């Protein structure tokens, strides 16, 4: 940055020297933020793209809630559908998104810390959710019975609850959505919006106490580390822990 | 003293050889006509900015309205003539939603686009869910729903346009 500040600046229009503090060129009067203005005129159409993405997500997620008799087949079908939507939108802006698939500054210690925290966090959420279900809603809820009948039920359940959501939700929310929003609003707002939309798409109002902080943390790590891999692994470990608790206790 | 010149438009100091003000782009060496044209252009944009501010504020206020209307819908829940039904879940959900919209409206003072986008998404999800559970709810209060959605969408658009005009005027 320092070298940039010290380098002589020239007007984007007449190429006469301008100072960094000059908002307009003193020679030709051209505004010195032309490039930003061009970016700004694209923002509304970019936001419409995001709206399309989110409406598709809502429709798909809602459909899963209203399947009368959920089976392993319907579960896999919706899992694959969500994966296709995520991959399509992520690759729609491949040029700006591909850097997220790299893993700069890989740190084993960091990864291990995140994984341990994810396991602890997941167990805590499980206990609180179990307590709420028992004492407030008076019902118990397990996912495993759906998969139990199948010979490979356990594996299918792990793929459908831990692997798929971790990979494709991260690709869609912390990948596509967050990257686009960073062009439209400032960094903090982008973090807040992705986290709130991520929470809304789960259609679980009472989960706000852990879903929102979880999403905010993932978004923060994604922006700080500039990769979605930490997020994918944290999300995977978090869901896997929940999945294993479900299998053991049901 | 005579060497110090101030721009007629924004009162920032300028050098005698500058053709344009480096802070606002005012044509310092231009003809009277050019200078007047510049000022009127700038005024138009400033009026547009006030108009956009109003639209954003209207969208933010509609979040208060949603909060109030959600709370009001409790009347129908509580006084529904079906005493055997357990309404406590519905009451808690409605209260949380109403508080959420109120919170977004207040938060919108500082984080406008977050509040408006989140508010619109939550509002749409609630009504799509309601419509699937009971299709008759689509028509109830349809005018209010459309007005609120239009206000929110216009609000989000205005936030973006407002930023653009502020940049054009080089206010930020």
Domain containing residue A237: 44-249
Tell me: do A33 and A71 sit in the same domain.
no
What's the average model confidence in pLDDT over B55-70?
95
- Start-to-end CA distance of chain B, whole Å, equals 31
Tell me: do A5 and A95 sit in the same domain.
no
Tell me: do A160 and A240 sit in the same domain.
yes
Question: Which residue in chain A is spatially nearest to B123 when comparing CA positions?
Answer: A200
- Beta carbons of A246 and A172 less than 8 angstroms apart: no
Tell me: do A126 and A155 sit in the same domain.
yes
Amino acid A7: pLDDT? 58
Q: Measure the CA–CA gap between B110 and A117, rounded to whole angstroms.
A: 32
Q: Compare CB distances from A28 to B15, B20, B89 and report the shortest one's residue.
A: B20
Sequence-separated (6 or more) residues with CB below 8 Å from residue A151: none
Would you call B118 an interface residue with chain A, using a CB distance cutoff of 8 Å? yes
Domain count, chain A: 2
- Percent of chain B exceeding pLDDT 70 equals 94
The mean-pLDDT minimum among A213-222, A229-238, B86-95, B102-111 falls in B86-95
- Beta carbons of A90 and A97 less than 8 angstroms apart: yes
Written as one string, the DSSP assignment of B31-69 is -HHHHHHHHHHHHHHHHHHHHHHHHHHHHHHHHHHHHHH
Whole-number average pLDDT of chain A = 88
DSSP 8-state class, residue A8 = P
ipTM value > 0.90: no
Cβ separation B157–A44 shorter than 8 A = yes
CA distance B136 to chain A (A): 17
pLDDT classification of A6: cutoffs 50, 70, 90:
low
The mean-pLDDT minimum among A183-192, B44-53, B69-78 falls in B69-78
Tell me: do A111 and A5 sit in the same domain.
no
pLDDT classification of A42: cutoffs 50, 70, 90:
confident
Contacts of A23 in chain B (CB under 8 A): 22-25, 170
- Beta carbons of A176 and A93 less than 8 angstroms apart: yes
Amino acid B134: pLDDT? 84
What residues are paired with A17 via a beta bridge?
A10
Tell me: do A3 and A73 sit in the same domain.
no
Q: Cβ atoms within 10 A of the Cβ of A184, count?
A: 22
Sequence-separated (6 or more) residues with CB below 8 Å from residue B44: none
Tell me: do A136 and A177 sit in the same domain.
yes
Q: Compare CB distances from A29 to B14, B20, B117 and report the shortest one's residue.
A: B20
Token pair, residue A93, equals 């802006």
* B112-122 residue pLDDT tens: 999 999 999 99
Tell me: do A62 and A13 sit in the same domain.
no
pLDDT classification of A69: cutoffs 50, 70, 90:
confident
Token pair, residue A33, equals 């933020």
Tell me: do A75 and A89 sit in the same domain.
yes
Contacts of A58 in chain B (CB under 8 A): 124-125, 128
Most confident of A236-245, B15-24, B87-96: A236-245
Instruction: List the alpha helices (DSSP H) in A66-207.
Output: 72-92, 94-97, 108-135, 144-148, 153-158, 164-169, 178-184, 187-200
The contacts found for B29-37 with CB under 8 angstroms, 24 or more apart, are B35/B8
Q: Are strands A17-18 and B5-6 parallel, antiparallel or unpaired?
A: unpaired
Cβ separation B168–A205 shorter than 8 A = no
The mean-pLDDT minimum among B31-40, B61-70, B86-95, B111-120 falls in B86-95
What's the average model confidence in pLDDT over A54-67?
89
Classify the C-alpha dihedral A222-A224-A230-A234 as positive or negative: negative
Q: Measure the CA–CA gap between A168 and A175, rounded to whole angstroms.
A: 9
pLDDT classification of B36: cutoffs 50, 70, 90:
very high
Amino acid B2: pLDDT? 55
How many Cα atoms occupy the beta-carbon half-sphere of A141 within 13 Å?
13
**3-state helix/strand/coil string of A84-101:** HHHHHHHHHCHHHHHHHH
Domain count, chain B: 1
Report which of A206, A229, A204 is spatially closest to residue A218, judged by C-alpha positions: A229
Cβ separation B15–A188 shorter than 8 A = no
Would you call B19 an interface residue with chain A, using a CB distance cutoff of 8 Å? yes
Tell me: do A144 and A32 sit in the same domain.
no
pLDDT above 90 for A181:
yes
Region of A104 on the Ramachandran plot (φ > 0 left; ψ -120 to 50 alpha; else beta): beta
* A74-121 residue pLDDT tens: 888 999 999 999 999 999 999 989 999 988 888 899 999 999 999 999
| B97 located within any domain | yes
Q: Measure the CA–CA gap between B66 and B107, rounded to whole angstroms.
A: 15
Tell me: do A101 and A216 sit in the same domain.
yes
- Beta carbons of B19 and A27 less than 8 angstroms apart: yes
Helix, strand, coil fractions of chain A, as percent rounded to 5: 75, 0, 25
Q: Are strands A17-18 and A9-10 parallel, antiparallel or unpaired?
A: antiparallel
| B136 located within any domain | yes
Residue position matching structure tokens 């694209």: A42
pLDDT above 80 for A155:
yes
What's the average model confidence in pLDDT over B118-143?
89
Domain containing residue B96: 61-158
pLDDT above 70 for B81:
no
| B53 located within any domain | no
Tell me: do A52 and A36 sit in the same domain.
no
CA distance to B6, B51, B87, B120, B125, per residue, from B99 (Å): 52, 29, 18, 15, 16
């Amino acid at each position: 940055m320092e070298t940039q500040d010290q380098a002589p600046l020239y007007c984007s229009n007449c190429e006469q020297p301008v100072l960094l503090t000059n908002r307009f060129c003193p020679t030709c009067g051209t505004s010195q933020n032309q490039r930003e203005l061009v970016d700004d005129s694209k923002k509304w159409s970019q936001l419409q793209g995001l709206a399309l993405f989110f409406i598709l997500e809502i429709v798909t997620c809602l459909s899963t809630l209203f399947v009368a008799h959920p089976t392993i087949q319907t579960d896999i079908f919706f899992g694959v559908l969500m994966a296709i939507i995520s991959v399509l939108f992520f690759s729609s802006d491949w040029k700006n998104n591909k850097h997220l698939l790299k893993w700069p500054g890989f740190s084993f210690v960091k990864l291990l810390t995140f994984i341990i925290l994810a396991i602890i966090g997941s167990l805590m959420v499980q206990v609180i959710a179990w307590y709420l279900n028992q004492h407030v809603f008076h019902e118990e809820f397990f996912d495993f019975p759906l998969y139990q009948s199948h010979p490979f039920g356990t594996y299918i359940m792990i793929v459908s609850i831990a692997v798929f959501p971790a990979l494709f939700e991260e690709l869609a929310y912390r990948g596509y959505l967050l990257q686009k929003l960073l062009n439209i609003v400032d960094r903090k707002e982008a973090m807040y919006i992705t986290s709130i939309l991520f929470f809304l798409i789960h259609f679980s109002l009472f989960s706000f106490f852990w879903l929102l902080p979880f999403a905010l943390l993932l978004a923060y790590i994604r922006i700080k580390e500039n990769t979605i891999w930490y997020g994918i692994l944290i999300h995977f470990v978090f869901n896997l822990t929940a999945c294993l608790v479900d299998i053991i206790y049901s | 003293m005579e060497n110090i010149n101030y721009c007629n438009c924004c009162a920032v100091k300028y050098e005698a050889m500058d053709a344009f003000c480096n802070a606002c782009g005012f044509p310092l060496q231009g003809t009277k006509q050019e200078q007047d044209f510049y000022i009127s252009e700038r005024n138009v944009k400033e009026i547009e900015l006030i108009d956009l501010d109003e639209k954003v504020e209207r969208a933010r206020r509609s979040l208060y309205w949603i909060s109030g209307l959600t709370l009001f819908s409790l009347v129908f829940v509580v006084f529904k003539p079906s005493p055997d039904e357990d309404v406590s879940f519905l009451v808690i959900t409605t209260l949380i939603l109403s508080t959420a919209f109120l919170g977004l409206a207040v938060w919108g003072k500082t984080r406008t686009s977050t509040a408006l986008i989140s508010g619109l998404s939550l509002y749409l999800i609630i009504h799509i869910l309601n419509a699937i559970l009971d299709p008759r709810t689509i028509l109830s209060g349809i005018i209010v729903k459309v007005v609120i959605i239009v206000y929110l969408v216009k609000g989000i658009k205005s936030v973006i346009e407002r930023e653009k005009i502020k940049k054009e005027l080089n206010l930020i």
